[in-house]
Chain A
Amino acid sequence: MDSLIEALADEATRKQARTALLHHGRDALRALTFALGSGAHSRLARWHIPETLAGFEPQRAAAVLLSHLPQEDDGMLRYRSIRALEAIMHRNPALELDKKTLEQAVASSVGRAFRYLERRLALERGAREVPARRTPGHELLLSAIKGKEANTIERLFRLLALRYPAEDFHQIFSALHSDSSRARASGQELIAQILRPPLREAVLALVDDLNDEERLNQGRAFHTPLGFDYEEQLDQMLDSSSETLQSMTVFHIGELGLRRFHDRIAALPRTETTASDIERVLSFLEREARAC
Chain B
Amino acid sequence: MLTAAPIRSVHDRMLLLRSLDSLAGIDDAGLSLLAEHASRHVVVRGQIFETEGARLRRVNIVVEGRVEIQRRGRLVMIVERGRGVGFLSALAADEQGITARALEDCVMLSIPVDVLRTVYEENFSVVRRTLQVLAVSRLKVRGFLPADPRKPPVVELGERPGGELTFVQRVMAARIGLFAQANMDAVVDIARSSRQLQIPAGQLLWRQGDPAPTYVRLLYGRVQCSREGGGQIEIGADWVLGIFDGMSDQRRAYSVRALTDLVALESDYAALLSVFETHRVLAMQLLAGMARPLLVGEDEPGLELS
List A residues at the B interface (Cβ < 8 Å). Answer: 9-11, 43-44, 47-48, 75-76, 79-80, 136-137, 140, 143-144, 146-148, 150-151, 244, 247-248, 250-251, 273-274, 276-277, 280
- Cross-chain pairs A/B with CB under 8 angstroms, 18 sampled: A11-B273, A44-B193, A47-B278, A76-B274, A136-B172, A140-B172, A140-B175, A144-B188, A146-B184, A151-B183, A151-B185, A244-B188, A247-B167, A247-B168, A248-B168, A248-B171, A250-B168, A276-B167
B192 surroundings in chain A (CB, below 8 A): 43, 273
Instruction: Answer whether residue B271 sits at the interface, using C-beta atoms and an 8 A cutoff.
Output: yes
Interface size classification for chain B: 20 to 34
Q: Is the CB of B183 within 8 A of A277?
A: no
Chain B, residues 266-302, CB within 8 Å of chain A (1/0): the string is: 0010110110001000000000000000000000000
- Min Cβ gap B75→A in Å is 36
Q: Is the CB of B274 within 8 A of A47?
A: yes
Q: Is the CB of B166 within 8 A of A276?
A: yes
- Min Cβ gap B31→A in Å is 15
Known pairs A44-B270, A147-B183; A140 contacts B171 (CB<8 A): yes
A10 surroundings in chain B (CB, below 8 A): 270
Instruction: Answer whether residue B210 sits at the interface, using C-beta atoms and an 8 A cutoff.
Output: no
Partner pick for A79 among B172, B193, B278, CB 8 A cutoff: B278
Chain B, residues 13-29, CB within 8 Å of chain A (1/0): the string is: 00000000000000000
Chain B, residues 161-192, CB within 8 Å of chain A (1/0): the string is: 00011111101100100000001110011001
B167 surroundings in chain A (CB, below 8 A): 247, 273-274, 276-277
A277 CA to B169 CA, complexed, in Å? 9
Nearest B-chain residue to A10, judged by Cβ: B270
Q: Is the CB of B185 within 8 A of A75?
A: yes
A146 surroundings in chain B (CB, below 8 A): 184
Most chain A C-beta atoms within 10 Å of own C-beta, residue among B167, B175, B270: B167
A280 CA to B165 CA, complexed, in Å? 10
- Min Cβ gap A270→B in Å is 11
A43 CA to B271 CA, complexed, in Å? 10
A250 CA to B171 CA, complexed, in Å? 14
List B residues at the A interface (Cβ < 8 Å). Answer: 164-169, 171-172, 175, 183-185, 188-189, 192-193, 268, 270-271, 273-274, 278
Nearest B-chain residue to A15, judged by Cβ: B27
Nearest 6 A/B pairs, CB to CB:
A147-B184, A276-B166, A251-B168, A144-B184, A277-B166, A147-B183
B274 surroundings in chain A (CB, below 8 A): 44, 47-48, 76
Known pairs A147-B183, A150-B183, A151-B185; A44 contacts B271 (CB<8 A): yes
A251 CA to B193 CA, complexed, in Å? 19
Other A-B contacts than A140-B175, A148-B184, 15 sampled, CB-CB below 8 A, are A9-B270, A44-B268, A47-B278, A75-B185, A76-B185, A76-B274, A76-B278, A140-B172, A144-B188, A147-B184, A147-B185, A244-B171, A244-B184, A250-B168, A251-B169
Q: Is the CB of B166 within 8 A of A148?
A: no
Nearest A-chain residue to B273, judged by Cβ: A11
A250 surroundings in chain B (CB, below 8 A): 168
Known pairs A9-B270, A44-B270, A44-B271; A140 contacts B168 (CB<8 A): yes
A279 CA to B290 CA, complexed, in Å? 40
B185 surroundings in chain A (CB, below 8 A): 75-76, 144, 147-148, 151
A273 surroundings in chain B (CB, below 8 A): 167, 192
Nearest A-chain residue to B168, judged by Cβ: A251
Nearest B-chain residue to A47, judged by Cβ: B274
Q: Is the CB of A80 within 8 A of B168?
A: no
Q: Is the CB of B270 within 8 A of A251?
A: no
- Min Cβ gap B277→A in Å is 8
A43 surroundings in chain B (CB, below 8 A): 192
A59 CA to B271 CA, complexed, in Å? 30
A150 CA to B193 CA, complexed, in Å? 23
B164 surroundings in chain A (CB, below 8 A): 276
Partner pick for B166 among A11, A79, A143, A251, CB 8 A cutoff: A251
- Min Cβ gap A42→B in Å is 10
- Min Cβ gap B249→A in Å is 9
A9 surroundings in chain B (CB, below 8 A): 270
Most chain A C-beta atoms within 10 Å of own C-beta, residue among B164, B270, B273: B270
